[in-house]
């Protein structure tokens, strides 16, 4: 399968943050502009109304500066709520002084709800809407029911302030619409990409599922002929060979279906791990031992270096799956060259390394191969769904560990899994682990 193009740059969460960042970034100079304008005219005209307006805008400007810092630290909800409540305070104070801005003051409180709405959880949003409603009632009460409480600035200045406020709102609105359009475009691109990935995946998956079926069918036909004694070359050895081959194809099919099931479990958050204190050395030894016939068929020598028992809390069945994936990849892409598996402790962690000397991986693909459906080889030369390393990473990360790959084309590949060692890695703990050579308990 050819690798799908990368997911667009922004996640939904990042777009929300971008939107808030844009709003705060544009609102701050607007607020500072009005602060300066009000302050200058308050002094020049000795206007109480503009002194009050300056105070109201000052509260908002300071809160905006603080919100910007909060947003930069990733506290989007707090930042949005702070700037939203500061807006309400400004409107409530402004209603007492700048009577001529009545229409703007009523709209501002409602605009605050739109600002806060994408970031706040339901109870916080409900509280905010309640406060905004209260402030609107306050503005209407102060401005409509009472005469202006302080003398208003000259009408020419009032018109200028209103015109500037309208200009600032239109500018801000256009900017926010640009961010929304970007968000829409990206969602569309993501949806299109998801459909393309699904279509490609369906064709690859059906091909992969069908591949083992052809030899399976042929082997069963041959077996049937031999058992019916219609074949002159029939012998128990040949029949056994057919059965073994058929079993391998069935195993391949089971593995493919298991991978598909695991991916849907991961997607639904239902991949359950049942951690136990496991002796990793013993588990590795068993898996390597189980892979020996396959390695012999691929012509690769399989070496294990696990000089000391190391204990870790892992789900033995799932961790065996991790090792299975890494070893079967090393065999598949290892070009028949030796494969080395190593277990060693490092600063309170256990490092498991699987190294091969095969085709290697281009450095640009080293990170993406751990993602769903991602492959670094052509589907024509190597079969596979691009799911093994994705499942592997999910299992390792859910066990508190990590996995990295290092490689270069033609130079082989090294996969390193690190896991936290179980506390008190004492010798008596070793007896709790499955004995070497026995099957780990399947949970």
**Would you tell me which residues interact with ligand ADP (CB under 6 A)?**
325, 329-330, 333, 356, 358-361, 369, 375-377, 384-390, 413
CB of 389 to ligand ADP, least distance (A): 3
Minimum distance between the CB of residue 84 and ligand ADP, rounded to whole angstroms? 45
CB of 303 to ligand ADP, least distance (A): 15
Comparing CB distances to ligand ADP, the nearer of 50 and 323 is: 323
User: CB of 327: closest distance to ligand ADP in angstroms?
Assistant: 9
Q: Which CB atom, from 392 or from 433, has the smaller least distance to ligand ADP?
A: 392
| Closest residue to bound ligand ADP by CB | 384
Closest separation in Å from C-beta 266 to ligand ADP: 13
Residue 113 Cβ vs ligand ADP, minimum distance, rounded to whole Å:
46
Q: 283 vs 359, which CB is nearer to ligand ADP? A: 359
Question: In terms of CB distance, is 199 or 423 closer to ligand ADP?
Answer: 199
SS3 per-residue string spanning the chain: CCCCCCCCCCCHHHHHHHHHHHHHHHHHHHHHHHHHHHHHHHHHHCCHHHHHHHHHHHHHHHHHHHHHHHHHCCCHHHHHHHHHHHHHHHHHHHHHHCHHHHHHHHHHHHHHHHHHCCCCCHHHHHHHHHHHHHHHHHHHHHHHHCCCCCCCCCHHHHHHHHHHHHHHHHHHHHHHHHHHHHHHHHHHHHHHHHHHHHHHHHHHHHHHHHCCHHHHHHHHHHHHHHHCCCCCCCCHHHHHHHHHHHHHHHHHHHHHHHHHHHHHHHHCCCCCCCCEEEEHHHHHHHHHHHHHHHHHHHCCCEEEECCCCCEEEECHHHHHHHHHHHHHHHHHHCCCCCEEEEEEEECCEEEEEEEECCCCCCHHHCCHHHCCCCCCCCCCCCCCCCCHHHHHHHHHHHCCCEEEEEECCCCCEEEEEEEEECCCCCHHHHHHCCCCCCCCCCC
> Judged by CB, which is closer to ligand ADP: 132, or 396?
396
The smaller minimum CB distance to ligand ADP, of residues 161 and 391, is found at 391
């Amino acid at each position: 399968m050819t690798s799908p193009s990368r997911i667009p740059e922004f996640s939904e969460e990042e777009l929300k943050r971008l939107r808030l960042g844009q709003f705060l970034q544009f609102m701050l100079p607007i607020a500072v502009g009005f602060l300066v304008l009000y302050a200058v005219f308050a002094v020049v005209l000795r206007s109480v109304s503009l002194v009050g307006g300056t105070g109201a805008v000052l509260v908002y400007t300071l809160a905006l500066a603080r919100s910007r810092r909060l947003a930069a630290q990733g506290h989007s909800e707090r930042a949005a709520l702070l700037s939203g409540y500061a807006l309400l305070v400004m409107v409530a104070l402004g209603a007492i002084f700048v009577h001529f801005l009545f229409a703007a003051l009523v709209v501002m409180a409602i605009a605050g709800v739109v600002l806060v709405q994408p970031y706040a959880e339901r109870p916080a949003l409900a509280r905010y809407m309640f406060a905004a409603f209260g402030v609107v009632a306050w503005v209407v009460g102060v401005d409509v029911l009472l005469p202006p409480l302080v003398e208003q600035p000259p009408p020419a200045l009032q018109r200028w302030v209103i015109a500037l406020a309208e200009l600032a709102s239109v500018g801000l609105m256009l900017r926010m619409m640009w961010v929304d359009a970007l968000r829409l475009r990206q969602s569309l691109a993501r949806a299109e990409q998801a459909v393309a990935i699904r279509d490609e995946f369906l064709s690859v998956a059906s091909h992969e599922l069908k591949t083992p079926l052809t030899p399976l069918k042929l082997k069963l036909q041959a077996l049937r002929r031999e058992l019916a004694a219609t074949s002159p070359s029939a012998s128990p050895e040949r029949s056994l060979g057919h059965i073994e081959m058929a079993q391998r194809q069935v195993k391949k099919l089971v593995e493919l279906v298991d991978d598909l099931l695991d991916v849907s479990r991961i997607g639904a958050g239902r991949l359950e791990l049942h951690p136990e204190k496991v002796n990793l050395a013993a588990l590795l030894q068993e898996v390597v031992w189980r892979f020996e016939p396959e390695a012999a068929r691929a012509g690769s020598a399989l070496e294990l270096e696990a000089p000391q028992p190391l204990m870790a809390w892992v789900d033995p069945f799932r961790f065996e799956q991790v090792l299975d994936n890494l070893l079967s990849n090393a065999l598949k892409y290892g070009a028949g060259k030796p494969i080395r598996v190593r277990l060693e402790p490092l600063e309170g962690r256990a490092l498991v390394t699987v190294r091969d000397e095969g085709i290697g991986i281009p450095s640009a693909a080293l990170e993406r191969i751990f993602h769903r459906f991602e492959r670094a080889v052509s589907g024509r030369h190597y079969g596979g769904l691009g799911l093994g390393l994705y499942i592997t990473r999910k299992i390792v990360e859910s066990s508190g560990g990590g996995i990295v790959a290092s490689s270069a084309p033609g130079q082989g590949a090294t996969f390193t899994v690190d896991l936290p060692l179980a506390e008190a890695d004492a010798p008596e703990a070793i007896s709790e682990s499955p004995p070497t050579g026995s099957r780990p308990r399947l949970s």
